[in-house]
Amino acid sequence: MKYLDEYRDPAAARRLVEAIRGLVTRPWNLMEVCGGQTHAIVRFGIDELLPEGVRLIHGPGCPVCVTPIELIDKAVAIAARPGVIFCSFGDMLRVPGSASDLFRVRSEGGDVRVVYSPLDAVRIAAENPGRQVVFFAVGFETTAPANALSVLEARRLGLANYSVLVSHVLVPPALEAVLGSPDRIVDGLLAAGHVCAVMGTEAYHPLAARHRVPIVVTAFEPLDLLQGIHMALRQLEEGRAEVENQYDRVVRPGGNPAARAVMDEVFRVADRAWRGIGVIPMSGLVLREAFAAFDAERVFEVEGVGGPESPHCRSGLVLQGLLKPQACPAFGTLCTPDNPLGATMVSGEGACAAYYRYRRHGLA
């Protein structure tokens, strides 16, 4: 466990907590962008170690949570068609659409399969020429290159039975929306390390400058988070608003050019609806026209599906850091992981799920 232990060492954590305490002179609100960071924070209780007044606010960074309900409904409709093999990463299966979810489709006879890589879905398509294989291409900039690669691979193999249902979202436009909001309460940002490993850090400089906000690219282990928090707070206390890189063991300023090139070849940027939040301009990826034949929405012509969100779900506010999950009236009563009203309660990275899992029985 060497690799992990290094980033969970209690003595080093204590030193960082002391350093943070010695630094802070007034209250600050930091937003961690990524749902993986949210889970680590709640799981390790990092927020409890911070000085009074320093608040961590959970951001919109869970791709499962922000996939629009119509798209879940489309996935459900496609997966229920006879002859279709619907492939998805596991955590999409429980996400509620307006009337059903993929697990339910599977229990009703649909061929819904969990894969660990989009290339597995391509392989399934090659092995089942008589059936349509659809891959649910969800995720941030992190998963987009591999998903794009699967389309290129399907084209190379000449597969006419492979398509992708695309729901890719981009982080910087979402941060622009959060920081530009009139209700903004965020003083500093911990940007998502994995996203930056692909995309680099360049997109964050204009954001930091325009909104006068420190942005620290931060990884996911407890020590990473504490260090990222320390860096962001130091900037705030010193009146700086710069982009810093806590995750420099992985993240390069230019990101990963090969991955970016594959993404650019297959996808283009477009407006995109975020579940619970609404449309954010130029915040999503769609297939380029040259790859229309691989677009599941066109192959299956699933228009007109999609019902309303649960009127009780406040996940839009949760995703923007405006509401703590426990403050949602449905939390833990009408809404539980067994019977979720919103995606934030079921996703492995959802904030409501994190609080439900790790913070009950009198733990704040």
Partner 1 sequence: MEFQLSCPAPLRHDTIQMAHGGGGRAMRDLLESVMLPAFSNPALEGRHDAAVVEAGGARLAFTTDTFVVQPRFFPGGDIGELAVYGTVNDLAMAGARPQWLSAGMVLEEGYPIEELRRVAASMRRAADACGVAIVTGDTKVVDRGRGDGIYINTAGLGAVPAGLDLGPASVRPGDAVLLSGDVGRHGIAVMSVRDGIAFRTPVESDCGPLHGLVAALLDGGVTPRCLRDATRGGLASVLNEIATDARVGIEAREEDIPVLPGVAGACEMLGLDPLYVACEGRMVAFVPEAEAARALDLLRSRPEGAGAVRIGTVTDAHPGAVLLRTALGTRRVLDLLSGEQLPRIC
Determine the size of the site formed for partner 1 (CB under 8 A): 63
Pick what 51 binds: ligand SF4, partner 1, none; C-beta below 5 to 8 Å, kind-dependent: none
How far from 342 is each of 58, 160, 226, CA to CA, in Å?
Answer: 16, 35, 30
Contact by Cβ (8 Å): 31, 186? yes
What is the rounded distance in angstroms from the CA atom of residue 132 to the CA atom of residue 124? 10
Q: What, of ligand SF4, partner 1, none, does residue 6 touch, CB below 5 to 8 Å by kind?
A: none
Which CB sits closer to partner 1, 62 or 236? 62
Question: Can residue 338 be called a binding residue for partner 1 (CB under 8 A)?
Answer: yes
Residue from 317, 322, 323, 334 binding partner 1 (CB under 8 A): 334
Neighbours of 323 (CB within 10 A): 17
* 25 burial via Cβ count (<10 Å: 0-12, 13-18, 19+): exposed
26's tokens: 């007034």
CB of 339 to ligand SF4, least distance (A): 9
Question: Does the footprint of ligand SF4 cover residue 84 (CB under 6 A)?
Answer: no
Residues paired with 347 in a beta bridge = none
DSSP-assigned beta bridge partners for residue 47: none
Which listed option, partner 1, ligand SF4, none, makes contact with residue 10 (CB within 5 to 8 Å by class)? partner 1
Binding mask 142-181 for partner 1 (x = CB under 8 A): xx--------------------------------------
Stretch that binds partner 1, among 86-94, 169-177, 270-278, 318-326 (CB under 8 A): 86-94
The vertex-123 CA angle with 119 and 127, nearest 5°, equals: 170
| Other beta carbons within 10 Å of 232 | 27
Q: Any idea which residue has 């426990």 for tokens?
A: 326
Distance CA 105, CA 81 (A): 10
Euclidean distance between CA atoms 209 and 211, whole angstroms: 6
Among 28, 140, 291, 331, interactor with partner 1 by CB under 8 A: 140
Q: Which residues bind ligand SF4 (CB under 6 A)?
A: 312-315, 318, 325, 328, 330-331, 335, 340-342, 344-345, 352
Q: Which residues bind partner 1 (CB under 8 A)?
A: 1-4, 8-10, 13, 36, 42-46, 48-49, 63-64, 89-94, 98-99, 101, 103-104, 106-108, 114, 116, 120, 138-140, 142-143, 194, 222, 307-308, 310-312, 334, 336-339, 341, 348-349, 356-363
